């Protein structure tokens, strides 16, 4: 499974990248607004300079012609840019065009397997089901991951399932169990993946025993 970080914060990206297990980055207009990005293209270029893997940068246009123009411009920023497109009718049309032009795409805001199916038929590189937001409305986000995995495997689609809106480690673990290709998550969730109380207790015990051994040797 690939690990992406879901942020526009350069410090967070560098911290995650230093772990050596980061495979890419996803961003969106909300994340950019959160940190006050003023030069969007320049900011994406900086991210692409930090991370070797795919960097999803989202269009804000909703009409086909404007999505195409904006997406081509975003794709020209760096070789590892993926154009993130919302799952709307003009977005699907644009994904088909981008696919024919060899531009990678991330079809975002997916909430049903039927949406994921049409995105794959259009040639999306990634599909982003938002599992946390489904949980928020008392639906089971993991059922969506399972349904998409089944449909894609039935027909041999190459589109990768990118589990998004991950809120905690169990979201990540269940996505991995169900066969999601990628998980994108905030830095706090990446940090939480490392945590277990027995690890902390065990390390504390090892270090205490080592200190006692050193004292006995004096």
- Computed on alpha carbons and rounded to an integer, the radius of gyration of the chain in Å comes to 20
Check if the beta carbon of residue 105 is closer than 8 Å to that of residue 159. Answer: no
20: left (phi over 0), alpha (psi -120 to 50) or beta: left
- Please give the Cα distance from 148 to 15 (Å, whole number): 32
Q: Is 84 a catalytic residue?
A: yes
Three-state DSSP class for 126? strand
The one catalytic residue in 34, 46, 84, 215 is 84
- Please give the Cα distance from 74 to 51 (Å, whole number): 16
Three-state DSSP class for 160? strand
Q: Among all residues, which ones are annotated catalytic?
A: 84
């Amino acid at each position: 499974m690939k690990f992406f970080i879901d942020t526009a914060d350069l410090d967070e990206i560098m911290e995650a990248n230093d772990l050596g297990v980061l495979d890419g980055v996803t961003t969106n207009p909300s994340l950019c607004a959160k940190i006050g990005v003023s030069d969007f293209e320049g900011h994406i270029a900086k991210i692409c300079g930090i991370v070797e893997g795919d960097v999803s940068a989202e269009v804000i246009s909703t009409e086909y012609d404007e999505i195409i123009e904006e997406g081509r411009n975003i794709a020209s920023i760096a070789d590892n840019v993926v154009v993130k497109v919302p799952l709307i009718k003009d977005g699907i049309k644009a994904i088909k065009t981008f696919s024919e032009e060899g531009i990678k795409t991330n079809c975002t805001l997916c909430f049903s397997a039927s949406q994921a199916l049409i995105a794959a038929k259009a040639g999306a590189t990634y599909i982003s089901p938002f599992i946390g937001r489904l949980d928020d409305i008392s639906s089971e986000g993991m059922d969506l991951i399972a349904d998409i995995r089944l449909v894609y495997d039935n027909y041999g689609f190459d589109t990768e399932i990118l589990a998004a809106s991950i809120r905690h480690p169990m979201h990540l673990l269940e996505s991995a169990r169900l066969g999601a290709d990628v998980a994108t998550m905030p830095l706090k969730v990446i940090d939480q993946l490392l945590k277990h109380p027995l690890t902390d207790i065990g390390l504390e015990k090892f270090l205490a025993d080592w200190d006692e051994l050193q004292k006995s040797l004096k």
